Amino acid sequence: MPEDQPVLQAIDLRKHFPVRGSRPKKFVHAVDDVNLSLHRGTVVALVGESGSGKSTIARLLAQLMPVTGGQILLHGQDATAKNRTAFHRYVRRVQMIFQDPFGSLNPVHTVRYTLTRSLKIHRGRLRGVELEAALDELLDRVQLRPAARYIDKFPHELSGGQRQRVAIARALAADPEVLLADEPISMLDVSIRLGILNLLRDLRDRLQLAILYITHDIASARYFADRTMVMYAGRIVETGDSESVTQDPKHPYTQLLVRSAPDPDDLESRARGARGEAPSLVAPPSGCRFNPRCPFATDLCRTEVPPLISVGEGREAACWGYSDRPDRPSLGSVLDAYGERPAVDVSVLEVDR
């Protein structure tokens, strides 16, 4: 495989959920025309508010639900799992880490049972010394040492961070190439979130994993991810390297999202500048889906969907304000529109390691 070829790629990904009992038939437009690429040894963050479609994308890439449209490619080949055997081959290479480590682990089974089952599914019927060595290796990879202290414990006997490490170990049992991490730290105490991110970063570097990191916390995206994609109401509105996206956001929604990051010196202003609420995805607004909340919206924004437009090296924003059309909106200063706000500060993550 060429080094620049993505391990996992989504092309024009769409997911529409039918609304039960609606007449005429209506659909929730959860994901529309999303393109993303995951490369070995890199982390891509998918950032957005609740309900924007982030977790739906993770489940589509994990093939836990069928796509409405678009294509999923693994090493450049169509990866659609059409039967159980194909799905089994796929999940050996693409594993998912869920948000709630207590809910994703069976409470009636020990760590030994959970990891043994995963090893036997993906690596065959290991027994005896080989099985014990594989279990020790998995727990060592996620820094649960010594293994004997944790191997026979039940989930309720572990802390939240330890449970999440066991969930990560279970995913690693398949020797995957891709990890889909769906808000892996949001259910954890603030004091241990950084440790989980550092663990995933270490695994990325040592195992050359491609990681999709889903979060609503743009500060952690800046700290952890190489690239950041911002999602709003089912569409990608901005992409670029994490430092640039978080420190110099171009799309009006990204600017609003940056303002929502905790600022210990200005807590009262966190919500200032927010205009309205996210739109209904059953009947999304025409044109740019952010236009009802955008201070720069024009008739063009309300009628035509903006493409991702280049706004710098390796950066794109889905905003007509950056086009060369004569009827484009005049962006002015987004900071003036939303109220001055310091750039994202990752010091909010600087907690006990």
CA distances 58 to 48, 172, 213, 237, Å, are 13, 17, 9, 18
| Residue 139 confidence (pLDDT) | 96
Task: Give the start-end residues of each E strand in the chain.
Answer: 8-18, 27-38, 43-47, 69-74, 77-78, 94-97, 178-182, 210-215, 227-232, 235-241, 309-312, 315-317
Work out the end-to-end distance of the chain between its first and last CA atoms, rounded to an integer number of angstroms: 37
Helix, strand or coil for residue 231?
strand
The contacts of residue 289 (CB under 8 Å, 6+ apart) are 232, 233, 234, 235, 279
Tell me the C-alpha distance between 285 and 291, whole Å.
Answer: 8
The β-bridge partners of 235 are 232
The β-bridge partners of 30 are none
Q: By C-alpha distance, which of 92, 81, 71, 84 is closest to 6?
A: 71
Contact indicator for 289, 297 with CB cutoff of 8 Å: no
Q: Which helix (H) or strand (E) holds 137?
A: helix 128-141
Contact indicator for 331, 249 with CB cutoff of 8 Å: no
Task: Please name the amino acid found at residue 213.
Answer: Y
| Residue 189 confidence (pLDDT) | 85
| Residue 128 confidence (pLDDT) | 86
Query: Helices 160-172 and 128-141 meet at what angle, rounded to 10?
Result: 120
For each successive 10 residues of the chain (353 residues), what is the average pLDDT?
81 95 90 96 94 94 96 95 92 94 90 94 86 94 94 94 95 96 89 91 96 93 95 96 93 86 52 64 93 90 95 94 86 55 53 33
| Residue 277 confidence (pLDDT) | 77
**Which pTM does this prediction carry?**
0.89
| Residue 346 confidence (pLDDT) | 56
Contact indicator for 81, 73 with CB cutoff of 8 Å: no
pLDDT in tens, 300-343: 999 999 999 999 999 999 999 999 888 888 876 554 555 555 45
Query: Helices 190-207 and 160-172 meet at what angle, rounded to 10?
Result: 20
| Residue 110 confidence (pLDDT) | 96
pLDDT in tens, 181-225: 999 998 888 888 999 999 999 999 999 999 999 998 888 999 999
**Domain spans of the chain, in order of start:** 104-175, 243-349
Tell me the C-alpha distance between 272 and 270, whole Å.
Answer: 6
Residue 128: φ, ψ to 5°: 55, -130
Task: Please name the amino acid found at residue 8.
Answer: L
Query: Helices 111-123 and 128-141 meet at what angle, rounded to 10?
Result: 110
| Residue 56 confidence (pLDDT) | 96
Tell me the C-alpha distance between 126 and 132, whole Å.
Answer: 9
- Per DSSP, the residues of 275-341 read -S-PPPSSSPPSSSTTTTT-TT--HHHHHSPPPPEEEETTEEE--GGGS--TT------HHHHH---
Count of C-beta atoms within a 10 Å radius of residue 196:
22
Contact indicator for 193, 348 with CB cutoff of 8 Å: no
Residue 61: φ, ψ to 5°: -65, -30
Tell me the C-alpha distance between 167 and 100, whole Å.
Answer: 10
Count the alpha carbons within 13 Å of 73 in the hemisphere toward its beta carbon: 16
